[in-house]
Amino acid sequence: MTKVLETPTRRVAAPSRYATFLSRHASLMPTFAAVAILIVLLIGAQSQFPRFLSPGNLSALLLDNAYLVVLAVGLTFVILTGGIDLSVGSVMAFTGILGASLLAQGLPAAVVIPVMIVAGALIGLLIGVLVQYFGVQPFIASLAGLFLARGLAFVVSLASIRVEDPAVLWLQRTRFSVAGWYITPTGIIALLTVAIAFAVLVWTRFGRTVYAIGGSEQSARLMGLNVARTKVAVYVISGVCGGLAGLLLTAYSGAGYPRNGIGTELDAIAAVVIGGTLLTGGTGYVLGSLVGVLVYGTIKKVISFMGAEQAWTQIIIGALLLLFIVVQRVIVARSQRRR
């Protein structure tokens, strides 16, 4: 009679709901982290400055950074494909001074505004063609676009040009108020830009192609997606957003200036990364970029309330950027191990 030995089976603990959620939504973690940082900043600022969370102050937080929101939206498209666009700050300056110059010559705003948008789109088209059809690295191609746009801005004018057109000034001076909250047309344009970009990325074939290219360009080609057209289009979108940001900044400041936007492209890239968009492409959300801009704006406003040097803004943003890049690398490593 043989004796059967039973080996004890080891029970594998079922993953918790929290662990399951993290594994399924790992790409959302940087965005959630940005939202958490924004909430902590707002609560901390309110504890130090009792009127920080007043409706007027929070309204100004969006409106003071409306142009940066628009730039971040355009950069989100580019970075999602694994590219980069360093020209957006210079495009904003060029289109702003171009618009101010044309308005000063007596052209109506109905003509000048489309010219500003088209000028930005053309520079974006040039960068996209260099990247896609000439094999130039996005960093180099957009750097060329940066120098081109900045040079054109100085060709238009070396000095500031004041804007007196009522239609352009109306964009910033008009306020729609409700219970202490207010918004201007510049803020409405910025939010509409975010909403349109969100809809395009989530619900259109073009948006799915953008994500596919960032995930794996070769796989996107094998799936029959139009990679070339999409890669050029995202740089055109970034250029359009640069032109639109030029309009918003001109309306906000009441003048065009060729030195506007120096370093703004880095602020916009930082906002996009803090908002959860991977620099390697394929993962990110335009709403996260909006949160990233609000984090940047909140830090800047808190430092202003404290009366400290604005250099601390760059230091804190730099530290946050390093933190989020580390978080992104962890997410990428985990996703590669799951494959």
Flag whether 151 is in a domain: yes
- Which three-class secondary structure string do you get for the chain? CCCCCCCCCCCCCCCCHHHHHHHHCHHHHHHHHHHHHHHHHHHHHHHHCCCCCCHHHHHHHHHCCHHHHHHHHHHHHHHHCCCCCCCHHHHHHHHHHHHHHHHHCCCCHHHHHHHHHHHHHHHHHHHHHHHHHCCCCHHHHHHHHHHHHHHHHHHHCCCCEECCCHHHHHHHHCCEEECCEEECHHHHHHHHHHHHHHHHHHHCHHHHHHHHHHHCHHHHHHCCCCHHHHHHHHHHHHHHHHHHHHHHHHHHHCEECCCCCCCHHHHHHHHHHHCCCCCCCCCCCHHHHHHHHHHHHHHHHHHHHHCCCCHHHHHHHHHHHHHHHHHHHHHHHHHHHHC
Would you say residue 21 has pLDDT above 70?
no
Flag whether 21 is in a domain: no
Flag whether 171 is in a domain: yes
Flag whether 331 is in a domain: no
**100: CATH:** 1.10.3470
Please give the average per-residue pLDDT across 29-39, as a whole number. Answer: 82
Flag whether 78 is in a domain: yes
Flag whether 18 is in a domain: no
Task: Report the pLDDT value the prediction gives residue 1, as an integer from 0 to 100.
Answer: 46
Q: What is the pLDDT of residues 204-217, one digit of tens each?
A: 999 999 999 998 88
Domain count, the chain: 1
Which domain covers residue 189, as residue numbers? 28-44+53-326
Q: What is the pLDDT of residues 48-70, one digit of tens each?
A: 888 888 888 889 888 999 999 99
Flag whether 2 is in a domain: no
Flag whether 332 is in a domain: no
Please give the average per-residue pLDDT across 167-189, as a whole number. Answer: 91
Would you say residue 88 has pLDDT above 90?
yes
